[in-house]
Structure formats: structure tokens, C-alpha cells
Structure 1
Amino acid sequence: MVAADAHGRVEAWACLRPFRGTGASTTTGELYALYVQPSLVGSGIGRTLLEAVRAHALAHGFDVVLLWVLNDSTTARRIYERAGYVTDGAVQADDYDGKSVSEIPPRRALAVPSS
């Protein structure tokens, strides 16, 4: 999904796909990327794009969307928490160029389960 201004310039974009990890159902989506032009951070465009991701995920049969965010990135974690994403304590560590990077997978349930 792409957000563009009136002149067609890309201001933000997001990529949603089926979750690529193991152990998830086929109805789990993964927000693989979300980028907002730095000059537009705080303008609400990211929040609008996250809502578009939610609507797109629902329309394509996903009932949960998750993403990976750096455990130490408090700003990013706050943004996703305000958008309804919650963490369950899971942590994943990956090595990049000999450095360990700790990530958490916040997730958002998209529909109220039927009783």
C-alpha cells in the first residue's frame, strides 16, 4: 500500500504478506515494512496507513497481523501499541554482522471472535 501526495510523490508505504514464520495459522498476516517520510512523522499518515493495512488484511482473510520491532525501540513500540498491537512477552534474537539484535512481535487481532 502506498500513500502519495497530490503530485504523486510517495509519502509512506506499507507491505503486508502472509506470516513467514513457523507455527502460525494461514490467517496470520505480517506487516513486513512500514515507512514514512521523516518530515511527515507525527502527521498521522502512518496511523492512516496502519488502518489501511488492517482493512486490507481483513478483506484478504487475515484475523491477526503481527510485525517485528526492535525490543529497544520504545518510540516504535509506543506507535504500534497506540494502534492496537500488543506483545505477549516473546522475544527473538538474530545476529547481524556479529551483533545480536533483539526483536519482539507485537500483534493485533482484527476481528472479535464469535462465541
Structure 2
Amino acid sequence: MKKSRYIVICLILLLVITGIVFAAEFECKGEKIEKNGSFWGYAKKLSSSEYRIEKGSYTIAFVKKQGSKWNIEDTAKNTLGRLNGNTIEKPNGYSWTSLSTAKSLCNGPDEIAAAIWVLKQHNKL
């Protein structure tokens, strides 16, 4: 009986620790974005095809739908990357990474997770 209780306690601890270790760094809660549980900024939906990413009160990027793709642009309208289905592409169209990689960084809508991942690669976060 004691041995099975010990095993159950160890399994619960393992699940808790694993959940903490693998939690996404960024999380979307409505339009609000949190980083490690603290307020970081916003992903403000401007229309059905456009978001503005804000860090604090400063705009740092836009996410714009063009056909079936989502373009991630800086404030100077330079394309930093794009979400094409389940693939994040570089501006030249070459595959960069998978959407699942971005989702492990940011728990939120696909286009916002992709934008946060791309912005991190460009040191714009």
C-alpha cells in the first residue's frame, strides 16, 4: 500500500514539473499577451484580416492576411516572415519552421503564435 502511494505521488509530481517546464513562454488571453504569467502586450484585431502586435504601448508588428497566408511585418512594412498553413516561411518563401514550434513558444491563435516566433527570431521582442 505504501509503495503504490509513493508511486502515485511521484507520478503527480512528474506531471506538475513537466507541465511547468513545457509551458509556453507567451500566452494569449483575448487580445492580451502574457509572458511567463505577466502582462507583456496586446494582439489587437483590427479587422478579420489584420492584427497589430503591441509590446507595452508600442506597436512592434502587424500580421496581415494575404490570400491563405498571414504576413508578419514590422512597423516599416518589411515582411519578416509568413504563416503558410502549418509552415512558417522566411520572406523569400523558403520553409523556416513548423507552426508547432511556434505554438510551443506562444499559446494562442496560429497567426499570433507564428508572429511571436518570427519576432523572436528577429530580436524584436
TM-score category by the smaller chain?
A: under 0.3
Q: Highest Rg: 1 or 2? A: 2
More strand by share: 2
Q: Which has the higher contact order (CA 8 A, sep 6+)?
A: 1
Query: TM-score, normalised to structure 1's length?
Result: 0.25
Query: TM-score, normalised to structure 2's length?
Result: 0.23
